[in-house]
Chains A and B, each alone.
Chain A
Amino acid sequence: MTNIVNITIDGKKYKAQKGKNLVNVAKENGLYIPTLCHFREVDPPLGTCRICTVEVDGKTTSGCTTKVYEGMNVEINNPELLNTRKAIIEMLFAEGNHFCPSCEKSGNCDMQNLGYDMGITVSRFPHVYSKKLVDFTSDRMIMESNRCILCKRCVEEIKTKDGKDVFSFVKRGVGTRVQIDYEEEAKLTDEEALYAMSICPVGAILVKGIAYEQPFGKRKYDKGGNSKQVLINEKLKRKSKDGKFVVATTSLAGCFGCHMSLLDINTELLDVLEIVEFNKSPLTDIKKFSKQCDIGLVEGGCANSENIEVLKEFRKKCDILVVFGECAIMGGIPAMRNFISLKECLEEAYINGLTTELGANVIPNHEDIPKMLDKVYPCNEIVKVDYFIPGCPPNANHIWKVIKNILLEEEYSITHEEFKYD
């Protein structure tokens, strides 16, 4: 019996086996501490991802490296810790390049799942647009360092028969990345290679040729998940007033997919039209603002000078600015050009590309043609944005629920299905 200790978690008393790791103790008692790097019983624990940050006797520390002892007082779920954990995930998203719609791991990704779980709509941190190496050299594997979260699972777990490391951290500081050793990698069996891919919590380690074997929709995290409540900023509520709410919409550097999604609510659209009236919008083909609007809905990020002008105009003419879709929130697919020099992009498109005409030698330019920006910017790096609706595209119900939420001050919860980003 001496091996049992009494501990307090979030004010409640529990008994646990002395010296056991806190994350596991919590789990046994039905309490959830989110983790990313933690898996199986790696000893000593990796303690790299910091997502299990908890408070032990008033001091913050990582839960996975904490062993329980008599009388310890643990806090898991106070608002500050919840915020810190969410911030860490957001920072991981901002640090790497996570274009989920184009990622092989989407649906099987532990980090994406935590993102859903925590209801992240946008990262509070500006995107770094990391330009680390994407390494295709190995015959069997692809190492996409820009997705790696440096959890160290692969470094510690994947060794050759003679005990050598296949993966290793190289460099330090913000440039740290994981490097793969081709020679050692070649010594792994196919099973071991698949295992490496499967323990990577994100889509950084990929085995060529099989990444899409499991169809989307049938993946580990495709089902399940909770409904989300949209939090409304007190200052940004609309008081019901006479007449209809005025809404403007636009598509910047996007694919119009988000606008298509807008129309996807079918007959409910008629209900919507009861309460809103559209001003400037591709849906109405009104080109110019004719009055101040209540809400502006923006799809797409900023890739050229015109996008910037339109976005700024929207900010001025709309009391509440809502951006929707990944491109508007983090640059999305167009931002994939941020890793390549603008010159190369333009030359590929107009001069050297496979589909350009033989002898093509001009990049179209004229004072009437907008100028390309050095990179694609998410909307909130240009203007202040009031609400973000994630998704690629966002689900129609999700969009309208948020809008109605803001306009009518009614609370709608959004189901996991509607909230899914991809």
Chain B
Amino acid sequence: MIPNNHITQRTNLVNVLWDIQKKRRFINKDDIAKIANEFDISKTELEGIISFYHFFHFKDAGKYTIYLNCSTISKLHNYHEVKKAFEDELGIKMGNTTKDKMFGLFKTSCIGLSDQETAALINYYPFTNLTAEKARTVVSKIREGQSLQSICDFPKDNIQYKPKDEKKTIFFKPFKMGEGLEQLKDLSPEDVIKMVEDSKLSGRGGAFFPTGVKWKFCRNNASDQKYIICNADEGEPGTFKDRVLLNTYPELLIEGMAIAGYAVGATEGYIYLRAEYKYLKDRIDNAIEKFKNAKLLGKEILGIENFNFNVKVFMGAGAYVCGEETALIASMEGKRGEPTTKEYFPVEKGYLGKPTVVNNVETLCAVPRILEIGLKNYLSIGTESTPGTKLLSVSGDCTKPGVYEIEWGMKLRDFLSLIGAKDPHMILFNGFAGECLSMVDFDREISGENLLSEQIQFQFKDPIEYAYKMSGVGLRSGGSFMVFNKSRSIISILKNVTDFFVAESCGICVPCRTGNFLLSRKIDKIKLGHGNKADMEEIQEWSHIIKQSSRCGLGKTSTNCLLTAMLKFPEEFEKLTQNESNFNGSFNINKATHNYDTIIQEIESTYD
């Protein structure tokens, strides 16, 4: 057994690494030796941790480190021209640092600003709606010595819609600090759990696990210490609703966490904030301070006996997989963010081995509102299985990108007209891990009604059968809604999706780390017009293998979009594929011998 104080120290490791990364812009050999010594771990183990996270560098990342979003929505806008502008202006290629170490330019996956793309972070300050010209201006302003704080664009909330009737609005209306907590005076923890259970609130991180049940499990696991962790990693490409909640309603979140703490008997809460949202940290810290000053956090809150609760923010360091709850916990414990084998669920053995509740920002924000408006009123909103409202982050080909609070049960077709979708052709619903929707789905409703099991949903071979069986089935999304019109290349979007998973796989399971890589190559082959029917069949077969045999949700869902796109847009693939042939179309003898020709030419000319 490792002694306890060792573990507690470990929890500080990511913070220490951040300090050095911020100060020096990279972590060098000496730092590694020193930190390894201090934390009593081997250097190799430490390098394993550092190299896991996208935002930690072994080489100087530049005094001004630019991370340009390369995900599909950014590419829909000005990614290519902005990238070129940065490269030209700085005289470096993507992935490099200027000679004078002033600027570093790196790609990064979705940074939660899909409603104002193309966007970049410079030293974690956001810059939105970039054009080539704006990129050049930003660089020259930095060179002139203007502060990032003064020139960055603080992201707009873009709240585009909430139910007309304020009584039906859950999130986007004014909130008075302490209103929910006040009610705890008359409620036992069991009452709170019962209420959450009855409200049918389920995980808004995308897995939709019943929140009340999760809390009950945690409550029933006796322990001297328990934790509430708010999952603010919001890594799913295309979602940014948590960003808006964190920016405008941090009090609602903190109150939700405190109520969760009261219900399960936890005294400490952490907000795992993705590094991409660093600019929100002050806002959240201030809100925590406000709660403390109002004695709504701390000891014996509101005089309720044994109700002690505190909240801290923990900064992530750039890894999508750390949104997976067990990986998130590993990351907080100062380890590589690898999902566990789920021998134990976090409610049994979570953070530091103690029972832990991990909930999404939106889930936690809903709780004080249920207390506020009462269970009965809450249940009258939305549908039978999914009462209440849902936040959706909308981006892509539509006139009104932004966050929508809709009552569960809205028809997809109505939602599309609400967002001003122009000639919608394909929708990436629920992010890259979600599914592709097409016209055949437009009459389905956004809700949790009549759901079918996963196994059925991804087994359809025939689009007509799909349309028939799925027409009455509800659609649930953790929050991401990306819409594309007919002019967009579906295959390019799928390539972006697959490459995202190639980069973000934690590397444990071969089907996920290499399977997705091989799929990405296959998509290239098809994109270039060299694929045939056999390739299409292989994509399907391989996708199922990855789905079946991966350890965590990342691998299990990484091929969803690909599979559903193949089912619903067969014509998109057919127009790119050739007849079956005995010869591999992608092999090109001139290309394969080009290297040789150049070498011979070079040698001949050197010795002439």
Binding site for B on A (CB under 8 A): 44-50, 53, 58-60, 62, 65, 84, 87-88, 91-92, 94-95, 124-126, 128, 149-150, 152, 160, 162-176, 179-181, 183-184, 305, 308, 312, 315-316, 342-343, 346, 361-363, 365, 371-375, 377, 381-384
Cβ–Cβ < 8 Å partners of B509 in chain A: 48, 50
Q: A48 is contacted by which of B508, B515, B545 (Cβ under 8 Å)?
A: B508
List 20 contacting pairs A-B, 8 Å CB cutoff, sorted by A.
A46-B341, A47-B551, A50-B550, A65-B343, A88-B511, A88-B549, A124-B538, A125-B542, A128-B514, A128-B517, A172-B321, A173-B504, A174-B505, A174-B513, A181-B45, A308-B592, A312-B583, A342-B595, A342-B596, A384-B581
What are the 8 closest A-B residue pairs judged by CB atoms, nearest first?
A: A176-B507, A181-B44, A47-B341, A168-B48, A164-B42, A44-B343, A371-B593, A60-B548
- Given A181-B44, A363-B600, A381-B587, residue A171 in contact with residue B51 (CB < 8 A): yes
- Given A168-B42, A373-B596, residue A174 in contact with residue B2 (CB < 8 A): no
Which residues of chain B from 301 to 338 have any CB-CB distance to chain A below 8 Å in the complex?
Answer: 319, 321, 336, 338
Asked if A361 and B607 sit within 8 Å, CB to CB, the answer is yes
Asked if B511 and A50 sit within 8 Å, CB to CB, the answer is yes
- Given A44-B341, A342-B599, residue A53 in contact with residue B549 (CB < 8 A): yes
Asked if B592 and A373 sit within 8 Å, CB to CB, the answer is yes
Given contacts A168-B47, A377-B587, A382-B587, 20 further A-B contacts (CB under 8 A): A44-B341, A50-B551, A58-B455, A62-B551, A84-B549, A88-B510, A91-B511, A92-B510, A95-B510, A163-B2, A165-B44, A171-B507, A173-B517, A179-B48, A183-B43, A184-B43, A184-B44, A342-B599, A373-B596, A382-B583
Interface string of B571-593 (1 = CB under 8 A from A): 00000000001111001010111
Cβ–Cβ < 8 Å partners of B587 in chain A: 308, 377, 381-382
CB distance from A122 to the nearest CB of B (A): 14
Q: Does B373 contact A (CB under 8 A)?
A: no
Cβ–Cβ < 8 Å partners of B599 in chain A: 342-343, 346, 363
CB distance from B440 to the nearest CB of A (A): 27
- In the docked arrangement, what's the CA distance between A279 and B517, Å? 42
Tally of A-B Cβ pairs under 8 angstroms: 191
CB distance from B195 to the nearest CB of A (A): 31
Cβ–Cβ < 8 Å partners of A65 in chain B: 341-343
- Given A174-B514, A363-B603, residue A371 in contact with residue B51 (CB < 8 A): no
Cβ–Cβ < 8 Å partners of B603 in chain A: 361-363
Asked if A172 and B505 sit within 8 Å, CB to CB, the answer is yes
Asked if A166 and B44 sit within 8 Å, CB to CB, the answer is yes
Interface string of B538-567 (1 = CB under 8 A from A): 100010010011110000000000000000
Cβ–Cβ < 8 Å partners of A162 in chain B: 40
Q: Does B111 contact A (CB under 8 A)?
A: no
Taking each of A50, A163, A164, which has the highest tally of chain B beta carbons within 10 Å of its own beta carbon?
Answer: A50
> How many B residues face the partner with a CB closer than 8 A?
61
Closest partner residue, chain A, to B547 (CB atom): A60
- In the docked arrangement, what's the CA distance between A152 and B338, Å? 12
Q: Does B518 contact A (CB under 8 A)?
A: yes
Asked if A384 and B41 sit within 8 Å, CB to CB, the answer is no
Cβ–Cβ < 8 Å partners of A48 in chain B: 508-509, 551
- In the docked arrangement, what's the CA distance between A140 and B26, Å? 32
- In the docked arrangement, what's the CA distance between A163 and B44, Å? 13
- Given A50-B550, A150-B507, A361-B607, residue A172 in contact with residue B51 (CB < 8 A): yes
Cβ–Cβ < 8 Å partners of A169 in chain B: 48, 336, 338, 507
Interface string of B490-517 (1 = CB under 8 A from A): 0000000000001111111111011111
- In the docked arrangement, what's the CA distance between A176 and B549, Å? 18
Binding site for A on B (CB under 8 A): 2, 40-45, 47-48, 51-52, 319, 321, 336, 338, 340-343, 455, 502-511, 513-518, 521, 538, 542, 545, 548-551, 581-584, 587, 589, 591-597, 599-600, 603, 607
CB distance from B286 to the nearest CB of A (A): 34
CB distance from B122 to the nearest CB of A (A): 24
Cβ–Cβ < 8 Å partners of B502 in chain A: 173-174
Closest partner residue, chain A, to B54 (CB atom): A172
Cβ–Cβ < 8 Å partners of A384 in chain B: 581-584
Closest partner residue, chain A, to B593 (CB atom): A371
Closest partner residue, chain B, to A180 (CB atom): B44
CB distance from A214 to the nearest CB of B (A): 28
Asked if A62 and B341 sit within 8 Å, CB to CB, the answer is yes
Closest partner residue, chain B, to A372 (CB atom): B596
- In the docked arrangement, what's the CA distance between A184 and B52, Å? 21
- Given A95-B510, A95-B514, residue A179 in contact with residue B44 (CB < 8 A): yes
CB distance from B18 to the nearest CB of A (A): 18
Cβ–Cβ < 8 Å partners of A59 in chain B: 455
- Given A48-B509, A53-B549, A150-B510, residue A181 in contact with residue B342 (CB < 8 A): no
Cβ–Cβ < 8 Å partners of A362 in chain B: 603, 607
- In the docked arrangement, what's the CA distance between A92 and B504, Å? 19
Asked if A50 and B549 sit within 8 Å, CB to CB, the answer is yes
- In the docked arrangement, what's the CA distance between A373 and B592, Å? 5
- In the docked arrangement, what's the CA distance between A128 and B341, Å? 27
CB distance from A234 to the nearest CB of B (A): 17
- In the docked arrangement, what's the CA distance between A46 and B341, Å? 7
- In the docked arrangement, what's the CA distance between A407 and B319, Å? 55
Cβ–Cβ < 8 Å partners of A305 in chain B: 589, 592-593
Cβ–Cβ < 8 Å partners of B592 in chain A: 305, 308, 373-375, 377
Asked if B505 and A167 sit within 8 Å, CB to CB, the answer is no
Asked if A49 and B52 sit within 8 Å, CB to CB, the answer is no
Asked if A50 and B510 sit within 8 Å, CB to CB, the answer is yes
Cβ–Cβ < 8 Å partners of B51 in chain A: 170-172
CB distance from B430 to the nearest CB of A (A): 20
- In the docked arrangement, what's the CA distance between A70 and B595, Å? 63
Closest partner residue, chain B, to A95 (CB atom): B514
- Given A308-B589, A362-B603, residue A172 in contact with residue B597 (CB < 8 A): no
Q: B42 is contacted by which of A45, A124, A166, A342 (Cβ under 8 Å)?
A: A166
Asked if B545 and A84 sit within 8 Å, CB to CB, the answer is yes
CB distance from A339 to the nearest CB of B (A): 15
Asked if B593 and A164 sit within 8 Å, CB to CB, the answer is no
Asked if A371 and B510 sit within 8 Å, CB to CB, the answer is no
- In the docked arrangement, what's the CA distance between A211 and B131, Å? 59
Closest partner residue, chain A, to B600 (CB atom): A365
CB distance from B293 to the nearest CB of A (A): 41
- Given A50-B511, A91-B514, A374-B595, residue A84 in contact with residue B45 (CB < 8 A): no
Cβ–Cβ < 8 Å partners of A308 in chain B: 587, 589, 592
Cβ–Cβ < 8 Å partners of A50 in chain B: 509-511, 549-551
- In the docked arrangement, what's the CA distance between A176 and B600, Å? 36
CB distance from B456 to the nearest CB of A (A): 11
- Given A62-B341, A383-B583, residue A170 in contact with residue B548 (CB < 8 A): no
Cβ–Cβ < 8 Å partners of A164 in chain B: 40-42, 45
Q: B44 is contacted by which of A46, A92, A168 (Cβ under 8 Å)?
A: A168
Asked if A149 and B551 sit within 8 Å, CB to CB, the answer is no
- Given A95-B514, A181-B43, residue A44 in contact with residue B550 (CB < 8 A): no
Taking each of A46, A126, A170, A375, which has the highest tally of chain B beta carbons within 10 Å of its own beta carbon?
Answer: A170
Asked if A372 and B593 sit within 8 Å, CB to CB, the answer is yes
- In the docked arrangement, what's the CA distance between A166 and B43, Å? 9
Asked if A173 and B507 sit within 8 Å, CB to CB, the answer is yes
CB distance from B503 to the nearest CB of A (A): 5
- In the docked arrangement, what's the CA distance between A381 and B587, Å? 8
Asked if B545 and A45 sit within 8 Å, CB to CB, the answer is no
Cβ–Cβ < 8 Å partners of A176 in chain B: 506-508, 513
Closest partner residue, chain A, to B36 (CB atom): A164
- In the docked arrangement, what's the CA distance between A377 and B321, Å? 35
Asked if B508 and A150 sit within 8 Å, CB to CB, the answer is yes
- In the docked arrangement, what's the CA distance between A65 and B445, Å? 37
Asked if A170 and B44 sit within 8 Å, CB to CB, the answer is yes
Cβ–Cβ < 8 Å partners of B511 in chain A: 50, 88, 91
Closest partner residue, chain A, to B349 (CB atom): A44
Cβ–Cβ < 8 Å partners of B548 in chain A: 53, 60, 84
Cβ–Cβ < 8 Å partners of A174 in chain B: 502, 505, 507, 513-514, 516-517
Taking each of B503, B506, B587, which has the highest tally of chain A beta carbons within 10 Å of its own beta carbon?
Answer: B587
